[in-house]
Chains A and B, each alone.
Chain A
Amino acid sequence: MSRGLVTGLVLAAVLAVLPFVWPGYHLSLLTIIFYWIGLAACWNLMCGYTGYIDFGSAAYTGVGAYVAGILMIRLHLPLAVSILAAGMGAALVALAVGWPTLRLRGAYFAIATFALAEALKQVAEEWASLTEGGIGMTFTIRLDEMTYYWLYLGLSGLVVGLTWWIEHHKHGYGLKAIHEDEEAAAQVGVGTHVLKIKTYALTAFFIGILGSLEANRLGYFKPDDVFDVHITIKMVIMSLLGGMGTVIGPVFGASFLQIIEDILGAEFINYYLVIVGVIIVVVIMFMPNGVARTILLRFKKPAGAEK
């Protein structure tokens, strides 16, 4: 067994028992952190690697929440089935949106996804006979708090692991080739369109599952909560801070931002968004490779300068 795998297993075991050592308030903070690591890792897998920017990822947390909500509350299906269906529902929407837009310039994809989340929010508001509209839906069946933590830990580990696996396989080379030069990638035989769509649907699947679980964990949701544009904003900035197109970037970015948010608290939400906006602009201007990677490169340079 390789050293990396051993380290990974030990880390996973430590994280899994962490809530026992550190229960209460810290459990909810840890739960939230792993939820966001999962989401940011999904966004990074699609957008960080291909360079197609999704500004409407909240569409998939929303679709996930509503599919699970409708199946569980209206049709009384079991939780596990509903959550899986939520993931598939999100993946189907991603296929439908990705098919026409991923053929075009990234600009079309960026705004089409941006508009999608808003349009779906409107549909959820208006179609009250199915979704209860602005009143929202309440889950009667929930899981144990500890279970949510383990699920998020497992899911975020899975997505980060998947990113690592993809990075080291043909699929990943294809994605990076799309990022570098899509035309050239197509020339040398990368099925760029299908590859992008596959990746997009896969990440939407996980976002749908995470979104439905989070709605279930909180117990109550309405269109404004699950289609909130700030969900997308956080996914973008977490990937950006950690470094887009890196395996470990979203883990750093999500942990950092979530802890900052926890300290600043909800009272400063408007200041928080201004600060986040400024951080985005400054990072893009001065550290386009992401904060984590820029700092890492600086440390690495003396050892063996690459360029």
Chain B
Amino acid sequence: MLFIQALTNGILLGGIYALYSAGFSLIFGVMGVVNIAHGEMIMLGAFTTYWLFEILRLDPFTTLPFSLFGLFVLGYLLQRFVINRVVDAPPIMSYIMTFGIHLVLANVALLAWTADPRTITTSYSGANFKLMGITIPYIKLITFLISLAVVGGLYWLLHHSRTGRAIQATAQDRRMARLMGINVRQIYAVTFGLGAGITGMAGSLVASFRHVEPAMGLPYTITAFCVVVLGGMGYIPGALIGGLILGVIGSVSTMVFTSGWSTAITFFLLFLMLLFRPAGITGRGIVE
């Protein structure tokens, strides 16, 4: 019974893992940029929700459009004016640059909002229902469903909209895309904005059941990387598969050991994947 409960928790958690990893995968797949500042997008999304809840008393779930829009703009501007300058340089330049952005965002947030962990408590926080003896919290269930919908929406957008197809074309062959009249730099900025925007939404969702604090970003960056390696770097549906697997493993290993060990187990898993199957479980990741 305890095991089935842990399994359920893991699956519910896996949805949000998938959501905040999809943006990471998208940005890497299209531009080859490893966004070390990824977790900060989650942190900023979480703070957006926190402040809207604190000041305007908005329900956490109604703040999703705000974090989507806010982080889209931030991501767009970052790519347009900062990261685009190194997109043609060796990839290491972009890693170090996003590392610098990570430092700036995390520490400006720390100066502005102090290190205090904050929580959002709504009337339905902690409420749950029982299904065949398994406890399911409402917030986790809604979060899970929204996550699936957003990842699905992103997939649809990439395959069925004009911009989405331009993004895919750019990812496949940048020079050819340029010859076909695609403004590659513009597409890069939109891609980064899109990736940051959905990651911000994931941050808003996380804020409804976890602590919100300036230093929260780093572990999310690491988890996102693990998820994406599991599912295949740059392959969006892979984020879903990787997210669910990692959610379940994390939840079950927390039940068996402690949460501290579950980080170590996650890393060990990442290590095995890199050793034996670097293209991910689906085998569709970018390895080179």
- Report the stretch among A65-73, A276-284, A299-307 that lies at the interface: A276-284
| Contact of A1 with B by CB under 8 A | no
Residue of B nearest to A233 (CB): B103
Give 1 or 0 for each of B179-208: 1 = CB within 8 Å of chain A CB: 000000000000000000000000000000
The A-contacting residues of B in range 89-126, CB under 8 angstroms, are 89-93, 95-97, 99-104, 106-108, 110-111
Residue of B nearest to A279 (CB): B100
B97 A51 Cβ-Cβ under 8 A = no
Given A104-B288, A105-B288, A119-B264: A284 and B100 within 8 A (CB)? yes
| Contact of A125 with B by CB under 8 A | yes
Contacts of A271 in B (CB 8 A): 111
Q: Which of A52, A53, A111 contacts B225 (CB 8 A)?
A: A111
Contacts of A240 in B (CB 8 A): 96
| Contact of A107 with B by CB under 8 A | yes
Interface of A is mostly: helix
Give 1 or 0 for each of A255-299: 1 = CB within 8 Å of chain B CB: 000000000000000110110111111001100100000000000
B93 A108 Cβ-Cβ under 8 A = no
B34 A107 Cβ-Cβ under 8 A = yes
| Contact of B271 with A by CB under 8 A | yes
Q: What's the Cα separation between A277 and B96 when bound, in Å?
A: 10
B267 A114 Cβ-Cβ under 8 A = no
Interface residues on A, range: 35 or more
How far in angstroms is the closest Cβ of chain B from A143?
33
B92 A273 Cβ-Cβ under 8 A = no
Q: What's the Cα separation between A108 and B263 when bound, in Å?
A: 18
Give 1 or 0 for each of B257-268: 1 = CB within 8 Å of chain A CB: 010110110111
| Contact of B278 with A by CB under 8 A | yes
| Contact of A110 with B by CB under 8 A | yes
Closest 6 CB pairs of A and B: A280-B100, A277-B103, A119-B267, A277-B104, A100-B275, A126-B260
